[in-house]
């Protein structure tokens, strides 16, 4: 599958992931979608450039962690310069992404509880909607609520993705 997540809305993407997770065979996926790959792959062929291909057993996050460890091993350890007492120490440069704060961790945990609740509500409303027994007014209100839930879920899932990426560092 070449870039299977391109141009998919979140619901379709979720359905595709669920289908592929249950697929009994072997799947070859080419993708830049890290989250998608973390959820589905258990083996990588990482194209590292200059014709080098790394055969790695694991998902993308595991590969990145391993790659960072390898790069850190390869760097020579240098001793910090000695500063005299009058000089101020320079601020440490931190090129890595900031770690997740307590507040963000709490938000992340709440999102993990709220998203399934909203999905369940949406499913129940869709069943009601498809039942055909609602009058026009209830049909309209149900449809509007489903639209609201979809917008909320999109926002919550995007925030969850950002926080999950941040929590990996």
Among residues 71, 98, 115, the alpha carbon closest in space to that of 168 is found at 98
Gap between the Cα atoms of 56 and 78, Å rounded: 30
* pLDDT, one tens digit for every residue, the chain (169 residues): 878 878 788 888 888 888 888 888 888 888 888 788 888 888 888 888 888 888 888 888 888 888 888 777 766 555 555 555 445 555 555 555 567 888 888 888 899 899 999 999 999 988 888 887 888 888 888 888 988 998 898 898 888 888 888 877 6
Query: Is the CB of residue 34 less than 8 Å from the CB of residue 61?
Result: yes
Burial label for 42, CB within 10 Å (0-12, 13-18, 19+), is exposed
What are the sequence ranges of the domains in the chain? Answer: 10-74, 102-167
Gap between the Cα atoms of 80 and 113, Å rounded: 46
């Amino acid at each position: 599958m070449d870039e299977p997540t391109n141009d998919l809305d979140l619901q379709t993407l979720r359905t595709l992931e669920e289908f592929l997770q249950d697929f009994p065979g072997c799947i070859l996926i080419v993708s830049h979608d890290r989250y998608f790959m973390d959820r589905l792959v258990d083996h990588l062929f990482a194209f590292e450039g200059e014709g080098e291909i790394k055969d790695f057993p694991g998902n993308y996050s595991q590969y990145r962690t391993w790659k960072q460890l390898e790069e850190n091993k390869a760097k020579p350890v240098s001793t910090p310069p000695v500063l005299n007492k009058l000089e101020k120490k320079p601020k440490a440069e931190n090129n890595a992404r900031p770690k997740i704060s307590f507040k963000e961790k709490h938000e992340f945990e709440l999102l993990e509880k709220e998203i399934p609740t909203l999905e369940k509500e949406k499913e129940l409303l869709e069943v009601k909607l498809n039942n055909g027994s609602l009058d026009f007014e209830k049909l309209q209100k149900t449809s509007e609520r489903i639209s609201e839930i979809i917008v909320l879920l999109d926002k919550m899932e995007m925030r969850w993705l950002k926080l999950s990426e941040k929590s990996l560092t």
